[in-house]
Structure 1
Amino acid sequence: MRPSRRFLALAAGITVLALTGCSAPADTDDAGTAATEEDGAFTLYSGRDEVLVQPLIDLFEEQSGIEVEVRYGNTAELGALLLEEGAQSPAQVFLAQDAGALGALSNADLFATLPAATTDKVPAGFTSTDDTWVGVTGRARVIAYDGQTMTADEVPASVDAFTEPEWAGRLGIAPTNASFQSFVTAYRVLNGEEAADEWVAAIAANGPQIFDNNRAILSAVDEGVVDAGLINHYYWFAQAAETGAENMRAQLSYPEAGDAGSIVNVTGAGLLQSGATDADALAFIDFLVSAEAQQYFVDETYEYPLIEGVDAPEGLPAIDSLVNPELDLADLESLEITQTLLGKHGLI
């Protein structure tokens, strides 16, 4: 994906931010990480797709002079790898697709505490409660549906409806995807373990069509392969920008507020203990929550920005209208239990 003109125009502004972030140790208080070491490079584990974030990493490298060695992969798989590697991991920063994976690593004490100057940029509810990781963007869970075979009022308002016999073989899901696993985790937190077990069992018995990721689900809906799919909102907006919304068979529906299917999850970044004093690694995390980088995500990936002063993409409902007040993103860390549940019913 090529950067847009607006993205290229950001370079001058980011030069100042990046060079400032890398020229001196970060100020911190007793609760923060004093990043004092600079060697001009760090290693990033990215659970976000290369096509989405590599242009932003390229710009950071160009403007800061810091080399970023990136390992791309599935968020859940990279999170498991980091848990296995522990303190021996070569990574200094983990960029994750969802809060659940970040919470799991935080609970394992693999993250250093970030400076308040970094974490205070993001409002409570969209970042960690203990400053071990910072939210970067917001993404709403939505239902993509076939606009040629269904009308908007025929789309279920709750994900519970997909357990009904009429949806047998018609729903697309991506059980190995981190965002789907976080959604199931949210279902467990909001509705209880027994209800979640019943939901997953019923979905599995209904014979859903299994895909690797959100993008594949959206393509299947747009091609009429499945009638509906559970995805993150921004995939639809990105495709609509490329092909024109009027040319898309797939349409979007937002589950009712409060439903487990309507959660707003976040991408986020944490500084691993191995990078606790790495000023270069911290400079990158600061860059992710700068106005310039947040605008990139708005323009290029159609995600919700999380800092003040940056407007959400046109056409999206206000993020506050989608947030479930009963859900604390810090409670999504129990991914291992969710994975066991999905495995129990043969979905992974």
Structure 2
Amino acid sequence: MTDTHSNSTRRRFLALGGATAAGSLAGCFGLFSNDNTEVGVSLSDFRGSGPLVESRDQPGGTSIQDLPPLEGDLTVYLGGGEGGLYVDLLDLFEQAYDNFSVEHRVEGSSSLATTIIEENEAGASQADVFMSVDAGSLGAVAKAGATQSLPSEALEAVPGSFQDGDGRWVGFAGRARAIPYNTNTLSPSDLPNSVHDFPDTAALEGTMGWAPTYGAFQSFITAMRLNRSDDVARSWLNSMQNHGITEYDNEFAVSNSAANGELAAGFANHYYSLRVQSARQNAPLDLYFTEGDAGALVNVSGLEILSGTGNAELAGNFVRHVLSAEAQEFFATRTFAYPMISGVQPVGGLPRIDDLNPPDIDLTELADVEGTVDLMQDVGVL
């Protein structure tokens, strides 16, 4: 079994209940375009609220005040369950720039990817930009030749593992797999470095929970298949069932049950624990991260410019705005996602995204879940 007493700083106790940054927000300040025209929003409009957001420093990175103003009309396809939150960001950009207007369409990521590919084949593209919670859908659109290259400034701002190798799509918000655990029951030294060692950890027998019908969990198993093999994923699922694990409908419920002490630990995306902690500041809940395996997967929401756009310059400027300090602060503090630029810290005492150790896999391959569902059904998990 892997040594459970690693000194890796990213795996130590994460002080979810406390403030995460020295200094404090010094009130609202106006944002200005580079022609010195004041725009109608401030950092506080982008930033969320609550105990995990208090006492944050100003974000680093490129501010929207240092970017060319957004001017013109843009059509954006928004794919996935976070679409409503993305609409809030579009509204802020419209408030910031009087001469900027966005039309948007919100649907499932895979459905919109199919629509974009069909429109591209017909030479009748209806959108300029595709934003998606699913890297696989972004990859499918890029593979179909329906995208164009992104601005170099956008690609340079984001780690290479969270963008397409050909510069066709780039991540703007991350979600990390993690282990929510009850701090009254467990300490980090009780948890193994590798997710593959969990079935052999006696302290966890009969005390863990998962949500196998949840898309994020199925992406996790897909990552295990890609990172190791189908046989390894099958064996792990069987072993966890034999170890005794409780099934939940979703990963927020897993995280909340760990906070309640009904579970010692579980498998979930990181932000569900932050949502629990934001509502229950003193909950005995913390996060643990494994290293280099599917349990350490970091998936992304991303965006790409569509090849049929007649607004390539505006679309490129829009991409840079989504990766601005203010927009990245929006994703970090309103959705508790991982920001993609180094100048913006995550909330809740989380390690920065470049301090995590995710598996080396192509994120676009996570879209191929059919084999995962078949495998999970075969072992009786679904």
Residue 71 (structure 1) aligned with residue 106 (structure 2): yes
Distance 1:343 1:273 in 2: 39
Matches within 5 A, 1:91-130: 92-130=128-166
1:1-348 matches, within 5 Å, as 9=28, 12-13=31-32, 15=39, 20-23=68-71, 38=72, 40-49=73-82, 52-64=85-97, 65-71=100-106, 77-83=108-114, 86-88=117-119, 92-163=128-199, 167-168=205-206, 170-177=208-215, 179-203=216-240, 208-212=246-250, 214-244=251-281, 247-255=282-290, 257-275=291-309, 277=311, 281-313=315-347, 315-324=349-358, 326-329=360-363, 331-347=365-381
- Distance 1:273-1:338 versus aligned 2 partners, 3 A rule: farther
Superposition deviation, residue 233 in structure 1: 2.0
* Contact 2:174–2:298 under 8 Å retained in 1: yes
Contiguous gaps of at least 5 residues in structure 1 = 24-37
What per-residue deviation string (whole Å, max 9, x for no partner) do you get for residues 194-213 of structure 1? 2123323444665541323x
Task: Determine helix, strand or coil for the equivalent of 2:160.
Answer: coil
* Partners of 1:136 and 1:289 within 8 A in 2: yes
Q: Distance in 1 between matches of 2:31 and 2:177?
A: 34
Residue-by-residue CA offset, 1:270-292 (whole Å, 9 max, x unaligned): 23445474555544322211122
Q: Is the 8 A contact 1:263 1:324 kept in 2?
A: yes
Aligned-residue offset at 1:293 = 0.9
Query: Aligned partner of 2:88: which letter?
Result: P
Residue 316 of structure 1 and its aligned partner are, at CA, apart by 1.9
Question: Residue 32 of structure 1 aligns with which residue?
Answer: none
Larger helix fraction of residues: 1
Aligned amino acid, residue 185 of structure 1: T
Is the contact between residue 18 and residue 283 of structure 1 (CA under 8 Å) also seen in structure 2?
no
Distance 1:270 1:210 in 2: 34
Alignment partners' CA distance in 2, 1:182 and 1:278: 32
Task: Please tell me whether the aligned partners of residues 105 and 111 of structure 1 are also in contact (alpha carbons under 8 angstroms).
Answer: yes
Q: Which string of whole-angstrom CA distances, capped at 9 and with x for unpartnered residues, describes residues 217-266 of structure 1?
A: 3223223444322122233234324431xx213322222x2232112332
Question: In structure 2, do the counterparts of structure 1 residues 345 and 91 end up closer, same or farther at CA, with 3 Å as the change threshold?
Answer: farther
Over 3 Å counting, the alpha-carbon distance change for 1:155 and 1:308 in structure 2 is closer
Q: Deviation at 1:67?
A: 2.5
Q: 1:229 to 1:207 in 2, by over 3 A?
A: closer
Contact 1:304 1:319 in 2 (8 A): yes
The whole-number CA distance in structure 2 between the counterparts of 1:45 and 1:7 is 33
- Show structure 1 runs of 4+ deviating over 6 A: 5-8
Distance in structure 1 (CA, Å) of the matches to 2:157 and 2:324: 9
**Conserved in 2, the CA contact under 8 Å of 1:182 and 1:332?**
yes
User: In the aligned structure 2, how far is the partner of 1:135 from the partner of 1:151?
Assistant: 33
1:51 to 1:7, Cα distance in 2 relative to 1, 3 A: farther
SS of equivalent to 2:252: helix
CA contact (8 A) 1:66 1:280 kept: no
Does structure 1 retain, via aligned residues, the 8 Å contact 2:74–2:311?
no
Aligned 8 A contact 2:181 2:287 in 1: yes
Q: How many residues align?
A: 320
Q: What do residues 172-199 of structure 1 show as CA deviations (whole Å, max 9, x unaligned)?
A: 225432x333322221222123212332
Letter in 2 for 1:133: W
**Is the contact between residue 297 and residue 359 of structure 2 (CA under 8 Å) also seen in structure 1?**
no
Give 1 or 2 for the bigger CA radius of gyration. 2
- Going from structure 1 to structure 2, the CA distance change for 1:330 and 1:263 (only over 3 Å counts) comes to same
CA deviation after TM superposition for structure 1 residue 122, in Å: 1.6
Label 1:83 to 1:338 Cα distance change in 2 as closer, same or farther (>3 A).
farther
Alpha-carbon distance in 1 for matches of 2:28, 2:88: 13
Q: Given the superposition, is the C-alpha separation of residues 223 and 10 from structure 1 closer, same or farther in structure 2, using an over 3 Å criterion?
A: farther
Shift of 1:269: 1.4
The TM-score normalised by the length of structure 2 is 0.69
TM-score (norm 1): 0.75
Residues 291-313 of structure 1 show CA distances to partners (whole Å, capped at 9, x for unaligned) of 22112223333333322433444
Looking at structure 2, the residues matched to 114 and 8 of structure 1 have their Cα atoms a distance apart, in angstroms, of: 34
Partner in structure 1 of residue 14 of structure 2: none
* Cα RMSD for the two superposed structures: 3.6
Structure 2 gap segments, 5+ residues each: 1-23, 34-38, 40-63, 120-124
